[in-house]
C-alpha cells in the first residue's frame, strides 16, 4: 500500500477530535493496525470505521481501554458466529433443495 492511500494518525486525530495517544493506545493493545513509514504513523483506510467505533465508545460512553478490548473481542466472536450461522443456513438450504 502506498503512502498516498494512508491517513496520518495526527490528521485523523485532529479531524475526529480524538487524542493521537488514544489511537496509539488502541494499536498497542492490538485493536487496530498502524503502519510506520519513515518514523511517521499512518492508518489504513479500512481501519477507519473500527477506530471511529472504538472512539465513540470511549469518548461518548466513557468506556476505558480494557472495556474496549473486551467489547472488541466479543464483537469479533459474534461476527464469526454470524458467519458460521449463514454458512450453516446455506448448507441447510442446499440439503432441503435436494429432498423430494
DSSP string over 37-75:
ETTEEEE-GGGHHHHHHHHHHHHHS---HHHHHHHHHHH
- Quick one: pLDDT at residue 99? 72
What pTM, to 2 d.p., does this model score? 0.80
Closest CA to 42 of 11, 5, 9, 20: 9
Closest CA to 26 of 66, 84, 59: 66
- The class level of CATH for 3-98 reads mainly alpha
- Quick one: pLDDT at residue 98? 74
- Quick one: pLDDT at residue 100? 66
Give per-10-residue mean pLDDT for the chain (100 aa). 82 94 96 93 93 95 97 97 97 82
Amino acid at each position: 500500500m502506498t503512502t498516498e492511500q494512508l491517513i496520518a494518525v495526527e490528521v485523523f486525530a485532529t479531524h475526529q477530535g480524538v487524542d493521537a495517544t488514544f489511537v496509539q493506545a488502541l494499536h498497542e493493545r492490538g485493536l487496530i493496525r498502524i503502519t510506520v513509514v519513515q518514523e511517521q504513523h499512518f492508518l489504513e483506510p479500512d481501519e477507519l470505521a473500527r477506530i471511529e467505533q472504538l472512539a465513540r465508545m470511549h469518548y461518548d460512553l466513557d468506556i476505558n481501554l480494557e472495556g474496549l478490548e473486551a467489547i472488541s473481542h466479543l464483537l469479533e466472536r459474534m461476527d464469526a458466529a454470524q458467519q458460521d450461522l449463514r454458512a450453516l443456513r446455506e448448507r441447510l438450504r442446499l440439503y432441503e433443495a435436494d429432498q423430494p
